[in-house]
Every structure is written in C-alpha cells, then in structure tokens.
Chain A
C-alpha cells in the first residue's frame, strides 16, 4: 500500500522569505503522480502543483517549485517570496484518482 509522510507538523516563515516543506512517500509503482494541495481556513482544497513521476524535470508554478527525487521517494515543496496568503495547511498527495494524503503541514507566515 502507498503511504505519504509529512514529518513537519508545523512550519513558520517570515514574509518574503523562502520555506521548504518536506514529503516522502512509499510505493512500488513506477508510474504515478504527486501533488501538493493547500487548504486555507476556508477548508477549500486548492491544487498548488503537480509532478508526473516519469518526468525528470521538477515542476514549477510561479513562486512554487518542487524538488522531486524519485529514487529517494522524496517530494518537497519550496515556496519563494512567501506571502501572508500562503498561510494554510499544505498536504502532499500521491496517486491519480485515488489520492493518498500525508498528515499535512501547517504553514504560518509572519509579517
């Protein structure tokens, strides 16, 4: 069975600084997707970024980028130039249409 582990229950970052959220996963499959979702206090889950496992190149979406290490089964999210609106719970997820989620990391942004 697939598992996703987020070892940082909570992180803090100063506004305009950079923060990295960690995620590791375990799977025996060779072809899969990885995602980072953001869940603000409204509880609306918002897709932040997606990575296809067969692609070597790390995905980037504006201030958000990932460091995907397939052999190490690691998928970290880097947020550059952090903004107050980035404060939320961030979930790492494995899969396609049956997502397996990590426990989440609460990100606090300090002004």
Chain B
C-alpha cells in the first residue's frame, strides 16, 4: 500500500506570495493532519481534517488555512508569506481520528 504523498517536495517563494501544499493520504485513511517543523519551534500542529471537516486547529494565524476533499486528499494554503514561514510542512494520515498517524516525506518551503 502506498504511503502518504506530499507535493511538491521543495518550494521556494518570496515574501508576500501565497503557496498551496498538497497531501494524499494512505488509501482508506480519512483523517489528515498537518504539522510545521522549524529548528526554533520544533514540531507544531497546524490543523486536522476528517470527512472534509476541520476538527482541530493549532495556534497559527489566519494566513494558514486548509481543506479536505471528498477523496480525503488535503491541501493547505499559506497566504502573504513571511520569512518565518520557512519550514518543513508534514502531513500525516490515519484511518480515523485518534488512530496512529503515518507521516509523508514533507514539503520543504523556503521563503526569500
């Protein structure tokens, strides 16, 4: 069974731009969570989706948003990029909420 896939793997943007990251969960998994990983703040929870509904949101500004489609694929969007948004963005999927999560390889975003 294929694992969690994330596209693109690497991305370079400039301040003020917006970006969309994509995540395809493991087949059959309906829950998708997103995390931001930076050297300074570590791993931080962004949001969680289940059945196209956002169930939880972390402490991030409104510039960070996401959605989940009927096939469980998820996207996250960051608008008006700032230098501090440079990070590894990790997506994880699970069968149901509260089940163990399996992570994708991440998208490395660099904001110049």
Interface centre among B48, B99, B101, B106 (most CB of A within 10 A): B101
Separation of A43 and B108 alpha carbons in the complex (Å): 10
A99 on the interface (CB 8 Å rule)? Answer: yes
Q: Which residues of A contact B99 (CB under 8 A)?
A: 96-97
A50 on the interface (CB 8 Å rule)? Answer: yes
B101, A99: Cβ atoms under 8 Å? yes
B43, A33: Cβ atoms under 8 Å? no
Separation of A33 and B108 alpha carbons in the complex (Å): 28
| Chain A-chain B contacts (Cβ-Cβ < 8 Å), number | 54
Our pick among B42, B43, B98, B102 for the contact of A96 (Cβ within 8 Å) is B98
Interface string of B86-108 (1 = CB under 8 A from A): 00101010100111111101101
Q: In the complex where A101-B42, A104-B42 touch, is A43 in contact with B105 (Cβ < 8 A)? A: yes
Report whether over half of chain B's contact residues are helix, strand or loop; otherwise say mixed.
strand
Q: Which residues of A contact B92 (CB under 8 A)?
A: 45, 99
B55 on the interface (CB 8 Å rule)? Answer: yes
CB distance from A20 to the nearest CB of B (A): 21
A44, B103: Cβ atoms under 8 Å? yes
Separation of A35 and B44 alpha carbons in the complex (Å): 15
Cβ-closest chain A residue relative to B44: A101
Interface centre among A37, A45, A99, A102 (most CB of B within 10 A): A45
B residues near A, CB below 8 A?
A: 31, 33, 35, 42-45, 48, 50, 55-56, 58, 88, 90, 92, 94, 97-103, 105-106, 108
Question: What 8 A-B pairs come out closest when comparing CB atoms?
Answer: A96-B98, A45-B103, A101-B43, A97-B97, A98-B56, A97-B48, A44-B105, A103-B42
